Amino acid sequence: MQKQTVVVRFCGDSGDGMQLTGNMFSSLSAILGNEISTLPDFPAEIRAPQGTLGGVSGFQVCLGNGVYTPGDKADVIVAMNAAALKVCTLGSKFNVAGARFDEAESMFKKDAVVIVDTDSFTDKDLEKALYKTDNPFTELGIPETVQIVPVALTQLTKESLKDSGMDNKAILKSRNMFALGVVCWLFSRPIDKAIHFLEGKFAKKPALIAPNVKVLTDGYNYGNNTAMNINTINVEKAEDLEHGTYTSIAGNKATAWGLIAAAHKCGKQLFLGSYPITPATDIMHELAARKDMGVMVVQAEDEIAGVCTAIGAAFAGDLACTSTSGPGLSLKSEAVGLAVMAELPLVVIDVQRGGPSTGLPTKTEQTDLMQAVYGRNGECPAVVIAASTSANCFQYAYEACKIALENMTPVILMTDTYLANGTGLWKLPKLAELPEIHPQGVPEELKGHYNAALRDANSVRYWAVPGMEGYEHRNIGLERDSKTGAISTNPENHERMVKARQAKVDQVANRIPELTVQGNAASDTLLVGWGSTEGHLHAAANELNCALAHFNYINPLPKNTAEVLRRYKKVVVCELNNGQFATLLRSKVQGVDFKQYNEIMGQPFAVERIVEHVKAL
Amino acid sequence: MEAAQFKSDQYVRFCPGCGDHAITAALQKAMAEIGIPTHQTVVISGIGCSSRMPHYLNTYGFNTIHGRGGAIATGVKTSHPELTIWQMSGDGDCLAIGGNHFIHEIRRNVDLNICLFNNRIYGLTKGQYSPTSPKGFVSKSSPFGTVERPFIPAELVMGARGTFFARTLDVDMPNTVDCLKKAQQHKGASVVECLVNCVIFNNGTHNWIADRETRAERSIVLRHGEKMIFGTNKDKGLALDYSEVMPRIIVVAADDPRVLTHDAHMQDPALHRMLALMGQEKFTDMQNAELQPELPIALGVIRDVEAETYDEAVNRQIADIRGKSKAQTFDQLLGTLEQWEM
């Protein structure tokens, strides 16, 4: 069976290793020439009780040619236990009594292939997953068009490893590798490539290589030899990709590496002050491991200290960053205001999650937009930009550093759970090919006359740092005199300073790319989005044969924003919140009737829902 | 260097008679005697009367936001350990809103010189009680007396495993200069509790020892390696009495062989804590206001021990790992990724 794209979903207990399995399959597919987009989907609990509905962890990947999203619904499901089968079948209705398969809700299509571990459907398993009968397939109403592939994963894995000397617990943990072997067979993945890949994965734990290779191979052969009554699937290779060297990368790692690249480009020390918070913590993990690149990480005592240590490092002349999620951004607000007032370069990364308050820590949402743009006391403008794919988190993290250092302003970089944990293909850059970064400095002639209010023709404050002789000065969070830099409460001076800080942020619009239109630019319908929804909106625009304007620059907006938006009759702002960007656009762009499509379910968009909604407008 | 080199061109706006004037002068004198140039000296503060200090010093300065001076100073020092950092803070900025940063900069032993101006009141917000106001203290926000137990800063510092604690009095210039210089010489988080008078909202709060007539009888200036002797006529000494389960400090005659010699470098903080707590009961509860403590209030450098500093350790770890790493450039780092042609 030949397919352009295929969606595979691995799901099981949060201890079943589904994230690892999914990541390995995705990377393997990418190495074999497919485009990929992944969506890890796991519960907030580290280990919910085994076998329960609350503990189901999923990993979805779309692979093939022309991949923009991890896919709405799966073509192939691997369900490691009864609870996973139920959650995949019923989707968000998984805990509704008597719910049955409904294609609108289900995580898989009505002609999907569903591989299940038959050993994980004992009476006890069914009871834990709250089944009422002993026939889960009938009870869930799974239609006959769905092809169920029963595999005795547990028994087969035990058999495979019976001579390995491993204990029973370790053997059971290897079930995922058997499943991976079966899936590799299903997708005609050459087993030698898979083995080679696995050897690389476990290079640092050589004792684990042999047993994992054995289970993987046995799983593969099981598929091959038992004459499974299903057709193998051939997925098209990527065709339109720019030729080059690629890797697959998660958004958080790409973000971290973007910061490192910027620091190396401009020769400044990279400093991260941060405090652990889901889903941003991997940025700190990645940077803490990169001491070889000279990165300094302070795991601070709280979110406020995270941003404040960074502000200290910025004051002292570093490329300073802090990483957080929505609740942490709230805690950092006052300090970000200090960086605005002190006019220091600072990169604040907000990996958005479901809110408000603690909200949905592991789920995705775009609900911090207004907080990033306006959530501080006083007239307090900061630059806000947003990454739109896992891989371009690198580009926008780099860009955030460049804007901050060249314009002496805090830059808030918005990503979210979907980008942070999802992976995509990334074409490896060369440092020499990345845009130059020219951090703001201070003219020699100001030696002996410098103060913290002096700025250049673009309204960008000059930057002198401790250690420079003859530039001693006092910086402050209080209002300063526009000429002397001393504390001032003069009314005219305050208004002048408010306008100077605003002018500085506004002129960044001259330094960013103009807004472009994707898809059918001649259509009278324009989808508008920002941040992580680009893939979904791109796919929806293709299906609708309409245009898409996708924003990576939120504050300031690209200069041609109004001009582009006014060209279209029907403008639909699609976002994973209650209409925050639409509200922002209404305040900035006159003469456009902005319509909205919003979802706030903690999940990425489904392309088909966008299409359906826009058609109905 | 001269103290004048450390004076900025700003008019000093502390209230006439405020103890902060004296500390400013002492700090300028100490900085000049230490001799670190103005461009390598950074003064960081939060918010409050004492946090205005950076404006009056001709060094690099950063007057930040309420309570966060400690975290910002940690960032400056860790990223640039070659700089000398002073943190100016008050009993509200440091012990209330900035309490978390205060205990953690001490715990990490960041090489900072922290001046804790303790006037037992909130001055800049016009007279509310502070975390060091005695229980029962009447203020604008406690018209019927506070019901809160106060901190004793020394106890908090030692509880956070502090490596340096000194106490000084605004009106005692020589001891203040000495404590500030020793704080700078100490590698690690050095806390100097400056007992300052708030002439407007809490006038006379330190009179018990500030009064020149009785100061020698009611306080003792501890000096490392010197006998613990005090009194107008230097006729009294401090000794340990072991007659009960817990040893306690007692006053004996100066020539008593039991008189202790001060060892600020002792790692065990037990005796340092006992010395720092002498007479403090008088200031923790208004009910004790009339109390005449038998033991003198300890001034001078009470604790000064060595431990690795955070800024040193962070920088050394980076240098070590960077030295051993094969990948030195970003392009080399990219080379370590699994990658393929497409």
Whether residues B163 and B201 fall in one domain: yes
Dihedral (CA of A447, A453, A456, A461) sign: positive
ipTM above 0.85, yes or no: yes
Tokens, residue B187: 């590698």
Whether residue A67 contacts residue A34, with contact meaning beta carbons closer than 8 Å, is answered with: yes
Whether residues B246 and B108 fall in one domain: no
Whether residues B193 and B248 fall in one domain: no
pLDDT surpassing 90 at residue A15 = no
| Buried/exposed A208-245: b ≥16 CB within 10 Å, e otherwise | ebebbbbbbbbbbebbeeeebeeeebebbebeeeeeeb
The alpha-carbon gap from B313 to the nearest alpha carbon of chain A, in Å, equals 11
pLDDT digits (tens, 9 = 90+) for A230-254: 788 899 999 888 999 999 999 999 9
pLDDT at A590 (0 to 100): 96
Query: How many Å apart are CA A465 and CA A480, to the nearest integer?
Result: 18
What residue of A is the nearest CA neighbor of B99? A301
Q: Which domains does chain A have, with CATH numbers?
A: 2-235 (3.40.920.10), 247-433 (3.40.50.970), 517-616 (3.40.50.920)
Whether residue B207 contacts residue B224, with contact meaning beta carbons closer than 8 Å, is answered with: no
In sequence order, the 6+-apart residues with CB closer than 8 A to the CB of A534 are A68, A388, A389, A550
pLDDT at A227 (0 to 100): 59
> B39, A471: Cβ pair inside 8 Å?
yes
What residue of B is the nearest CA neighbor of A426? B339
Query: How many Å apart are CA A399 and CA A412, to the nearest integer?
Result: 11
B328 lies in a domain? no
pLDDT at A201 (0 to 100): 83
pLDDT digits (tens, 9 = 90+) for B279-299: 999 999 999 999 999 999 999
The number of C-beta contacts closer than 8 angstroms across A and B is 192
Whether residues B47 and B157 fall in one domain: yes
The alpha-carbon gap from B14 to the nearest alpha carbon of chain A, in Å, equals 14
Tokens, residue A414: 């918005």
pLDDT at A231 (0 to 100): 81
pLDDT at B97 (0 to 100): 97
> B333, A260: Cβ pair inside 8 Å?
yes
Whether residues B8 and B81 fall in one domain: yes
B286 lies in a domain? yes
Query: How many Å apart are CA B175 and CA B53, to the nearest integer?
Result: 20
What residue of A is the nearest CA neighbor of B97? A304
Phi-psi region of B232 (alpha: psi -120 to 50; beta: other; left: phi over 0): alpha
Which domain covers residue B241, as residue numbers?
A: 227-261
pLDDT surpassing 90 at residue A383 = yes
Higher per-residue pLDDT: B233 or A196: B233
| Buried/exposed A482-511: b ≥16 CB within 10 Å, e otherwise | beebbbbeeeebbeebeebbeebbeebbee
pLDDT digits (tens, 9 = 90+) for A78-91: 999 999 999 999 99
Which residue, among B1, B76, B104, would best test binding to A if mutated, counting the most A CBs under 10 Å from its CB? Answer: B76
The amino acid that residue A59 corresponds to is F
> A308, B72: Cβ pair inside 8 Å?
yes
Q: Tally the domains of chain B.
A: 2
Where are the extended beta strands (E) located within A137-294?
147-151, 234-235, 245-250, 270-274
B319 lies in a domain? no
Whether residues B73 and B156 fall in one domain: yes
Query: How many Å apart are CA A295 and CA A319, to the nearest integer?
Result: 10
Mean pLDDT in chain A? 95
pLDDT at A92 (0 to 100): 86
| Mean pLDDT value across residues A13-34 | 91
Nearest residue, CB atoms, A241 vs list B317, B329, B342: B342
Beta bridge partners of B41: B84
Whether residue B111 contacts residue B312, with contact meaning beta carbons closer than 8 Å, is answered with: yes
Walk across the sheet containing A319-324 and list its strands. Answer: A296-299, A270-274, A319-324, A346-352, A410-416, A383-386, A553-555
Whether residues B18 and B108 fall in one domain: yes
pLDDT at A328 (0 to 100): 98
Residue A489 carries which DSSP code?
-
pLDDT digits (tens, 9 = 90+) for A512-523: 999 999 999 999
Whether residues B158 and B237 fall in one domain: no
> A431, B331: Cβ pair inside 8 Å?
yes
> B321, A468: Cβ pair inside 8 Å?
no
pLDDT surpassing 80 at residue A44 = no
Bridge pairing between strands B164-169 and B190-195: parallel
Q: Give the alpha-carbon dihedral of A472, A476, A480, A485, to 10 degrees.
A: 0
Q: Can you tell me whether residue B277 is helix, strand or coil?
A: coil
| Mean pLDDT value across residues A321-330 | 98
pLDDT digits (tens, 9 = 90+) for B254-274: 999 999 999 999 999 999 999
The alpha-carbon gap from A271 to the nearest alpha carbon of chain B, in Å, equals 7
pLDDT surpassing 70 at residue A609 = yes
pLDDT at A228 (0 to 100): 65
pLDDT digits (tens, 9 = 90+) for A330-371: 999 999 999 999 999 999 999 999 999 999 999 999 999 999
Where are the extended beta strands (E) located within B143-296?
164-169, 190-195, 219-222, 229-230, 236-241, 248-253
| Mean pLDDT value across residues B174-180 | 98
Bridge pairing between strands B60-63 and A74-79: unpaired
> B39, A466: Cβ pair inside 8 Å?
yes
B296 lies in a domain? yes
What residue of A is the nearest CA neighbor of B81? A316
Tokens, residue A203: 């290079």
Nearest residue, CB atoms, B83 vs list A271, A316, A474: A316
Q: What percent of chain B is predicted at pLDDT more than 70?
A: 100
Nearest residue, CB atoms, A292 vs list B61, B325, B331: B325
B337 lies in a domain? no
Q: Which of B183, B195, B188, B199 is nearest to B302 (CA)?
A: B183
Supply the CATH number for residue B268's domain: 3.40.50.970
B64 lies in a domain? yes
Whether residues B163 and B243 fall in one domain: no
Bridge pairing between strands B113-118 and B84-90: parallel
Mean pLDDT in chain B? 97
The alpha-carbon gap from B71 to the nearest alpha carbon of chain A, in Å, equals 5
B71 lies in a domain? yes
Residue corresponding to tokens 């460049």: A402
pLDDT surpassing 80 at residue B139 = yes
| Mean pLDDT value across residues B3-10 | 94
pLDDT digits (tens, 9 = 90+) for B35-60: 999 999 999 999 999 999 999 999 99
Whether residues B251 and B282 fall in one domain: no
Nearest residue, CB atoms, A309 vs list B8, B60, B71: B71
Q: Which of A68, A60, A15 is nearest to A610 (CA)?
A: A68
Query: How many Å apart are CA A367 and CA A365, to the nearest integer?
Result: 6
Q: Which of A503, A462, A499, A497 is nearest to A480 (CA)?
A: A497
B45 lies in a domain? yes
The amino acid that residue A358 corresponds to is T
pLDDT digits (tens, 9 = 90+) for A546-599: 999 999 999 999 999 999 999 999 999 999 999 999 999 999 999 999 999 999
The alpha-carbon gap from B64 to the nearest alpha carbon of chain A, in Å, equals 5
pLDDT digits (tens, 9 = 90+) for A463-500: 999 999 999 999 999 999 999 999 999 999 999 999 99
Q: What percent of chain A is predicted at pLDDT more than 90?
A: 86
List of chain A residues whose C-beta atoms are within 8 Å of the C-beta of residue B79: 269, 271, 296, 312-313, 316, 318, 320
Whether residues B202 and B186 fall in one domain: yes
Higher per-residue pLDDT: A529 or A209: A529
Q: Give the DSSP H or E segment for A21.
A: helix A18-31
The amino acid that residue A264 corresponds to is H
List of chain A residues whose C-beta atoms are within 8 Å of the C-beta of residue B338: 27, 31, 200, 247
> B80, A311: Cβ pair inside 8 Å?
no
What residue of B is the nearest CA neighbor of A318? B79
Whether residues B78 and B23 fall in one domain: yes
Whether residue A590 contacts residue A554, with contact meaning beta carbons closer than 8 Å, is answered with: no
Query: How many Å apart are CA A251 and CA A391, to the nearest integer?
Result: 6
